[in-house]
Structure 1
Amino acid sequence: MSGLNLNELVRQAQEKNDFDSLLSLIPYAKLIGVECLRLGDDLVFRLPANRDNIGNPTLPAIHGGVIAGFMEHAAMLHLLMFMGIPHLPKIIDFSIDYLRAGHYRDTYAQCRVWRQGRRVANVAITAWQTTQTEPIATARAHFKVDEPYVAPMDAS
């Protein structure tokens, strides 16, 4: 997808307050059911309760990998929406702290860009379920933002 098309999708999503077209570009976000809501100038990401995302059926609790994937994708989409880059950012590293069990209910995430340089952006992500002041996880992510990701060529 060209940068112009992605920029146009971002512009339309912001104008219409409908982010489904952007979310559909990211297969994993679509698989786990990520949604995006705009509240004023803020974005809040939502992961609806889904039995397919359960890792511990005894509690039941959301799989930790699903929580981490949700938070990473929220940060990537947040950068795309607010930082004016014409391509999907590429993850450099991701560090998560699990604070509470992610029970079988809707989960929310909000992001804050601590720093964006020409090449790298640093994002803090907080995920919660019942109240934002009681997060289930916090994370830090670093993204490469200076050039688009190009998949390696198949060597066969």
Structure 2
Amino acid sequence: MPEIPLTPYARSLGIFVHGEEDGAPVLGFEFSSDVEGRPQHLHGGATSGLLETAGYALLRKELEQLGRAHRLKPINITAQFLSAGKQKTTYAKARIVKLGRRNANISVEAWQDNRERPIATAIMNILMAEPDA
């Protein structure tokens, strides 16, 4: 699996590449005080950061494989929190719903113990601008 570059923000959250499934990177982070919100629970911003990072990681990987160079600009990102994240490792994986010439729609899920019971999801709509735009 090629190395996936992580942003300074992602590294500050402790996000790491756990592996790859179906060609998509699976990212994760360990629970720590850096990602804690209310006592003993994940902060929603940290969870959102993991979801967003997983979405961008997959999109960048796909564009690179297609030989396409674009600047990625978020149109909108909607996170849905389904249950409180606990003091456990959290994982996220994205799926490209539609990849067009100018924009991409991505769905992302985050889970802890059971991937069939996600703790959060996100829908991302990303504008793919020309590199010099």
- TM-score between both structures, scaled by the size of structure 1: 0.75
Structure with more strand by fraction: 2
Deviation of 1:147 after TM superposition, in Å, equals: 2.4
- Which one-letter code corresponds to 1:141 in the other structure? M
Instruction: Write the deviation string for residues 3-28 of structure 1: whole angstroms up to 9, x where unpaired.
Output: xxxxxxxxxx62xxx43xx11xx111
Rounded Cα–Cα distance in structure 2 between residues aligned with 1:88 and 1:148: 5
Residue identity (%): 32
Q: Please say if 1:142 is aligned against 2:125.
A: yes
Larger radius of gyration: 1
Counterpart in 1 of 2:110?
127
Greater relative contact order: 1 or 2 (C-alpha under 8 angstroms, separation 6 or more)? 2
Label 1:149 to 1:89 Cα distance change in 2 as closer, same or farther (>3 A): farther
Supply the RMSD in Å over aligned alpha carbons. Answer: 1.8
Deviation of 1:149 after TM superposition, in Å, equals 8.0
Letter matched to residue 50 of structure 1: S
Looking at secondary structure, tell me which structure has more helix per residue. 1
Unaligned 5+ runs, structure 2 = none
Q: Which residue of 1 aligns with 2:43?
A: 63
Q: Tell whether the 8 Å contact from 2:73 to 2:128 is kept in structure 1 after alignment.
A: yes
CA distance in 2, matches of 1:33, 1:81: 20
Aligned mate of 2:8, from 27, 43, 48: 27
Per the TM alignment, residue 49 of structure 1 is displaced from its structure 2 partner at its CA by 1.8
How many residues were matched structurally? 129
Q: Report what 2:27 is aligned to.
A: 45
Cα 1:48–1:122 change in 2 (3 A) is: same
Tell me, in whole angstroms, the C-alpha distance in 2 between the residues paired with 1:137 and 1:127: 5
Aligned residue type for 2:62? F
Where structure 1 has 5 or more consecutive residues not aligned to the other structure, the ranges are 1-12, 151-156
SS at match of 2:31: coil
